[in-house]
Amino acid sequence: MKFQEIDGVRTLVKKDYTPTGSVGTIVCAFTNPNEAYMVEFANEYGETLDLPIYLPEELERV
């Protein structure tokens, strides 16, 4: 797997309400049927803004 849970990542594509370049934290890693990651994006108060699922090629580690 390319990433692990609690890794900080930056998005390379826009998805749902999250623009390209957003920084979030991987909260769940999936392997079946394909490698994918649920990423949490939060505001400065720690409130979750979005929890989209990304493929590994749509993210980079920060």
For residue range 18-30, list pLDDT tens digits in order.
999 999 999 999 9
Rg, C-alpha atoms of the chain: 11
The low-confidence residues of the chain, meaning pLDDT below 50, are none
Instruction: Decide if 35 is inside a domain.
Output: yes
Instruction: Decide if 1 is inside a domain.
Output: no
Distance CA 9, CA 58 (A): 10
Q: What is the DSSP letter of 35?
A: -
Full domain range(s) for residue 42: 8-61
Q: How many domains does the chain have?
A: 1
pTM attached to this predicted model: 0.94
Instruction: Decide if 3 is inside a domain.
Output: no
